[in-house]
Chain A
Amino acid sequence: NAGVTQTPKFQVLKTGQSMTLQCAQDMNHNSMYWYRQDPGMGLRLIYYSASEGTTDKGEVPNGYNVSRLNKREFSLRLESAAPSQTSVYFCASSVGLTSYNEQFFGPGTRLTVL
């Protein structure tokens, strides 16, 4: 069991470039999440997917789009990267969309936008 995997691990972009962060889980979880982590701010939810075929905005969705490709995969796209999007991005999954469910996290993607 790989758990939650993310690619790439590191990425440097120039302002205005686009990219997609990939996430996959092999735990047969229904719900998946994208967070960003910035120093001194904890985790902030960008988008989530309650189940295959559904996606919803979280706390900080501006500048991002997501796709729940199937039950396993949930991608995050930056259409036109900005320096404010420099952050560490984490994908997570859980059995279901209730706050008592443990979330399982991937290792993160460290993104720098110049």
Chain B
Amino acid sequence: AQSVTQPDIHITVSEGASLELRCNYSYGATPYLFWYVQSPGQGLQLLLKYFSGDTLVQGIKGFEAEFKRSQSSFNLRKPSVHWSDAAEYFCAVGPMDSNYQLIWGAGTKLIIEP
């Protein structure tokens, strides 16, 4: 069955420290890959996406993600987090065939310690 797993429900990071959020997917072929962020009380906003080509993708707000085909992973990273990065982060995959529906992970809530 197609699925997206974000193994960490919560992650706590000190301000200025590096961050890595994990995302693994189960899918028959390489799908389109996305990371969205949801700030408190807001809708979701696209951080970055991977379609093909370079496996290291740059996004907004200083985030990047690396696609690893052998591990079926698309982990999100940031070298130095800011208090404003506190939010919930969602990984999603989208099939390349005619089925357009995105499959969403359950989300990882990022808590920033001062």
Contact = CB atoms under 8 A, between A and B. Distances in A.
Given A40-B106, A98-B100, A100-B32, A106 B94 contact: no
Interface of B: 4, 9, 31-32, 41-46, 49, 51, 90, 92, 94-96, 99-102, 104-107
Nearest to A3: B43
Interface of A: 4, 40-45, 48, 58-59, 90, 92, 97-100, 102-108
6 contacts: A41-B106, A43-B102, A99-B94, A99-B100, A99-B101, A103-B44
Chief secondary structure at chain A's binding surface = loop
B40 to A, nearest CB: 11
Nearest to B104: A42
Residue among B49, B100, B105, B106 facing the most chain A CB atoms (10 A cut-off): B100
Nearest to A102: B46
Given A40-B9, A99-B96, A100-B32, A45 B45 contact: no
Contact of B45 (A44, A48, A105): A105
